């Protein structure tokens, strides 16, 4: 990657080569300043990347476990060394507040370190097969092998760590990888590609291609040498991609409208309100597990609501490069205008605006609503903006039903100390994970991560992704003594 003061130029990476060509501008979500220009990948580039990936499968698969582990550890070490460089890239192109950007780099380090450990543990099992008469001397061995070339499609909101969640498992599994980063945030992915090559991963087994959405869909549909498509993004695009991916494996992480239940037995409502405010409005709510719906037992509803209002007022919104900022801009002005319109529509439909809603360019003051109803976009859809709806409930079973009244099912949070309620919620809630004692925004990167319903298909998290990117192959032996 070439750099120059103030802006950057990204040449797409394909088969060890940095390739120049027609380019597009990347601009800051905060002030629309030019971040840099990035080369547009063509269909010819995509075909060449698949050629390289298919040809490099044997070499990538043959890398011994110690070498895969070493490469992954070296990538983690490079991210630690270049932490501020990557954080500033994330701030510039994603508009993520700098403290959160640094935290994202830390998470990516953990992702690569975990993948290094899993690469060393990737094994199999032996099976006794002399279980019926006439099969004396037979035994079996099961090992996992890489599925083949992987197409990874990543979103803008975590331009390093969500890329890492696809790249690191692919390296651990021995799969060649073609990475298509979000057009808003290509520089972080290109910089990571540079680090991976320097760590010793075969150049032909990695491509970073800023493809158009149309050419990415074409690649997923037409190129049978790609064996797995891993996509993180909107439900609409994800399910369309799956419908056109033929016999390829498809792994989808598609977001949600995460809900939190707050029961009256929770001992520290003040701390719960602090966590809720940060989980709803950090990075302007641009996370698939951002808290969007909160259901509070009526006896503590007013107390909790006004505590959230109090703590939200302390959040700093504005320039993402400011160390104090937690609520930065939305990724595009059009997204801020959409969120503003959804809030207005809810208020016109009877919801009460408790706080926020003012828009300055792409920055929206954190919005707290109550009196929302099913059918409102702010309640039923994924807002992906700084908006939370806080509603009372009288019956715990009704609260569970309210959480389930959604086409999404990624994660939910529950604040109660009652074991019976916890187990009931675990059994009844239609989500990929229930987070007890915290908000649904909590995630540790090694854990299995994914949802049900429109929230996706399969699981990410390093070990789970490695399982998705490998397939069992059995060897049956007989007659050996």
Catalytically annotated residues: 253, 288
Angle 258-261-265 (CA atoms, 0-180°, nearest 5)? Answer: 155
Residues 6+ apart with CB under 8 A from 420: none
H/E run at residue 36: strand 34-39
Give the whole-angstrom CA distance, residue 238 versus residue 216: 12
Residue burial 240-250, b: 16+ Cβ < 10 Å; e: rest = ebbeebeebbb
Beta strand segments in 394-453, E: 408-409, 411-415, 433-436, 452-453
Going by C-beta distance under 8 Å and a sequence separation of 6 or more, which residues neighbour residue 233?
153, 155, 254, 255
Nearest to 262 by CA among 443, 427, 417: 417
Beta bridge partners of 153: 180, 231
Q: Smallest Cα–Cα separation from 5: which of 79, 69, 88?
A: 88
How far apart CA 307 and CA 291 sit, in angstroms, is 16
First to last CA, the chain: 57
Integer Cα distance of 445 and 319 in angstroms = 28
Separation of alpha carbons 169 and 258, rounded Å: 26
Taking residue 479's Cβ as centre, other Cβ atoms within 10 Å add up to 7
Using DSSP, how many helices (H) and how many strands (E) does the chain show?
15, 26
C-alpha–C-alpha distance, residues 83 and 92, integer Å? 14
**DSSP code of residue 342:** H
Tell me how far apart the alpha carbons of residues 291 and 276 are, in angstroms, rounded to a whole number.
7
Residue pair 418/265 in contact (Cβ under 8 Å)? The answer is yes
Two tokens, residue 440: 């649904």
Q: Of 380, 386, 350, 381, whose CA–CA distance to 367 is shortest?
A: 386
User: Would the CA dihedral through 153, 191, 53, 145 be positive or negative?
Assistant: negative
């Amino acid at each position: 990657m070439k750099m120059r003061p103030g802006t950057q130029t990204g040449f797409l990476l394909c088969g060890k080569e940095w390739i120049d060509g027609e380019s597009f501008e990347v601009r800051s979500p905060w002030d629309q300043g030019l971040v840099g220009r990035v080369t547009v990948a063509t269909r010819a580039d995509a075909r060449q990347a698949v050629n390289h990936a298919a040809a490099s499968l044997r070499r990538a698969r043959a890398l011994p476990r110690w070498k895969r582990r070493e490469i992954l550890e070296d990538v983690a070490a490079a991210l630690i060394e270049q932490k501020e460089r990557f954080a500033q890239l994330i701030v510039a192109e994603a508009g993520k507040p700098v403290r959160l950007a640094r935290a994202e780099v830390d998470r990516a380090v953990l992702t690569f370190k975990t993948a290094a450990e899993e690469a060393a543990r990737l094994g199999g099992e032996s099976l006794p097969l002399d279980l019926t008469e006439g099969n004396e001397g037979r035994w079996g061995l099961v090992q996992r092998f890489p599925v083949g070339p992987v197409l990874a499609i990543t979103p803008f909101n975590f331009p390093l760590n969500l890329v890492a969640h696809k790249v690191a498992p692919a390296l651990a599994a021995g799969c060649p990888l073609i990475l298509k980063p979000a057009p808003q945030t290509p520089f972080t992915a290109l910089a990571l590609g540079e680090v991976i090559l320097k760590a010793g991963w075969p150049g032909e087994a990695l491509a970073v291609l800023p493809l158009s959405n149309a050419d990415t869909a074409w690649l997923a549909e037409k190129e049978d040498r790609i064996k797995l498509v891993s996509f993180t993004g909107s439900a609409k695009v994800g399910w369309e991609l799956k419908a056109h991916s033929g016999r390829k494996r498809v792994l989808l992480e598609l977001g949600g409208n995460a809900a939190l239940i707050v029961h009256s037995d929770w001992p520290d409502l003040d701390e719960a309100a602090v966590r809720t405010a940060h989980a709803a409005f950090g990075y302007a709510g641009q996370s698939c597990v951002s808290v969007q719906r909160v259901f509070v037992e009526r006896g503590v509803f007013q107390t909790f609501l006004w505590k959230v209002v109090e703590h939200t007022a302390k959040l700093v919104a504005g320039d993402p490069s400011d160390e104090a900022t937690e609520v930065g801009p939305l990724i595009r002005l059009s997204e801020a205008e959409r969120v503003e319109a959804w809030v207005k529509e809810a208020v016109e439909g009877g919801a009460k605006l408790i706080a926020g809603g003012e828009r300055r360019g792409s920055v929206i003051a954190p919005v707290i609503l109550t009196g929302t109803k099913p059918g409102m976009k702010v309640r039923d859809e994924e807002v992906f903006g700084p908006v939370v709806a806080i509603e009372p409930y009288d019956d715990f079973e009704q609260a569970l039903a309210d959480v389930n009244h959604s086409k999404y099912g990624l994660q939910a949070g529950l604040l109660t100390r009652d074991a019976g309620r916890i187990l009931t919620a675990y059994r009844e809630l239609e989500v990929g994970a229930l987070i007890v004692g915290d908000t649904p925004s909590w995630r540790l990167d090694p854990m299995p991560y994914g949802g049900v319903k429109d929230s996706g298909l399969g699981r990410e998290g390093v070990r789970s992704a490695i399982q998705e990117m490998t397939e069992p192959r059995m060897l049956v032996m007989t007659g050996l003594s």
